[in-house]
Amino acid sequence: MNSGIIVAIVLSIVLVVLIILLITRIKIVRQTQKLIVERLGAYHATWSVGFHFLIPFIDRIAQVVSMKEQVSDFDPQPVITKDNVTMQIDTVVFFQITDPKLYSYGVENPIAALENLSSTTLRNIIGELDLDETLTSRDIINTKMRSILDEATDPWGIKVNRVEVKNILPPKDIRDAMERQMRAERERREKILLAEGEKRSKILQAEGEKESQILRADAEKEATIKKAEAEAASILKVKTAEAEGERLTRQAQADGYKMLVEAGVTKEVLAIKSFESLEKVADGQSTKIIIPSEMQNLAATIAGVAETVKEKK
C-alpha cells in the first residue's frame, strides 16, 4: 500500500514536471522579432511571428534578433587629415538587420565589427581631405561612409541606412586659430557694412541736395515767369489805359467841336472874337502883337467839323 502511494506520488511529480517543461518550451514570437533555432547544435530554422514549440533537450533558441532599425553611437575616433591635423570625430550609424541567419552566423559580435569598420572607413576618407574640406564636407563624408559600410555589411545581414558625423573636434590650437580667424572675418564684414552704409548715406544726401537744387531752380524759374507775366500784364494795362485815354480825349474834342457847330459858332464868328481879343490886347503898351497860330488852327478845325456835320445832315 505504501509503495503504491509512493509510485503514484512519483508519477504525479514526473507528470507535473513534464507539463511544466512542455509549457516552458512553448514560444510566441513578437512582430518585431526573429528567433534563430538550433537543433542538436546546428541551425534549424528562423521563426517569425506566431506560436512555436521547441522539442525539449533537442531544440534551443540560439539568438533573438530585433528587426527594428537600430542606432549605434560610436565613441570619438582620432583621425589625421591630409594636411596632418589630428582631430576627434564621432559618428552615428543607423542600421537594420535584413537577414537574421547571416547576422547570427556571419561575424562574431556584429556591432563591434561595425564599429571597427566605421572607424577604419572614417580614417580612410578623412585622410584624403584637408582640414577645411573636413569641416565643410560633412555630407560627402556621410554619403561615402554609408555606401562603404552598406556594401561591407551585406554578408553580415545588415543594411546601413544612414551615417551621420556627429561631432568634429580639432585640436585646441586649431580651434583658437579658427576662432581668431572667424572674429577677424566678422570684424571685416562689420567694417564693410559700415562703409557701405556710410557710402549709401552720402549718396542719398547728394541725391537729396541735387533734388533740392532742381526744385529750387524750378521755383526760381516759375517765379521769374510769373513776375514777367505780371509786368507784361501791367504794361498791357498801362498801354490800354493810355490808348483809352487818347481815344476819350479825341472823343471829347470831337464832341466839343460838334457842340460848337450845333451852337452856330462859325469860322467868321471865331475870327471876329479873336480880333476883338487882339484889339483889347493892342490897347496895352506892348509894341509887338503876336497872333497865336492856334487860333487859326482852331478856326480851321471848327470849320472842318462844321462842314462834316452839314454833310451828314
Determine how many CB atoms are found less than 10 A away from the CB of residue 36: 20
pLDDT by residue for the chain (313 residues), tens only, comes to 567 777 788 788 888 888 887 788 888 888 888 999 998 888 999 988 888 888 888 888 888 999 899 998 888 888 888 888 888 888 999 999 999 999 999 888 888 999 999 999 999 999 888 888 888 888 899 999 999 999 999 999 999 999 998 888 888 887 787 788 888 888 888 889 888 888 888 888 888 888 888 888 888 888 888 888 888 888 888 888 888 878 777 777 676 666 656 666 555 555 555 555 555 555 555 455 455 554 455 555 555 545 554 554 4
Query: For position 232, what pLDDT does the model report?
Result: 83
CB neighbour list of residue 154: distance below 8 Å, 6 or more residues apart: none
DSSP secondary structure letters along 120-153: HHHHHHHTTS-HHHHHH-HHHHHHHHHHHHHHHT
Q: Which residue has the cell 541735387?
A: 210
Cβ atoms of 62 and 100 closer than 8 Å: no
Query: For position 305, what pLDDT does the model report?
Result: 47
Q: Which residue has the cell 521547441?
A: 54
CATH 3.30.479.30 maps onto the chain at 69-170
CA–CA gap between residue 41 and residue 7 (Å, rounded): 36
Query: For position 175, what pLDDT does the model report?
Result: 75
CA–CA gap between residue 38 and residue 58 (Å, rounded): 8
CA–CA gap between residue 180 and residue 186 (Å, rounded): 10
CATH 2.30.30 maps onto the chain at 2-66
Q: Which CATH number is 2-66's, of 1.10.600, 2.30.30, 2.40.30, 1.10.275?
A: 2.30.30
Q: Which CATH number is 69-170's, of 1.10.630.10, 3.30.479.30, 3.90.209.20, 3.30.360.10?
A: 3.30.479.30
Q: Which residue has the cell 506566431?
A: 50
CB neighbour list of residue 61: distance below 8 Å, 6 or more residues apart: 27, 35, 36, 37, 38, 54
Looking at the DSSP assignment, which residues form a beta bridge with residue 163? 93
**pLDDT 10s digits, 261-303:** 666 655 555 555 555 555 555 555 545 545 555 445 555 555 5
Start-end of H helices in the chain: 2-24, 100-105, 110-126, 131-136, 138-152, 172-262, 267-282, 293-312
Q: Of 38, 115, 28, 120, which Cα lies nearest the Cα of 70? A: 115
Q: Of 92, 57, 66, which Cα lies nearest the Cα of 77? A: 92
Cβ atoms of 118 and 163 closer than 8 Å: yes
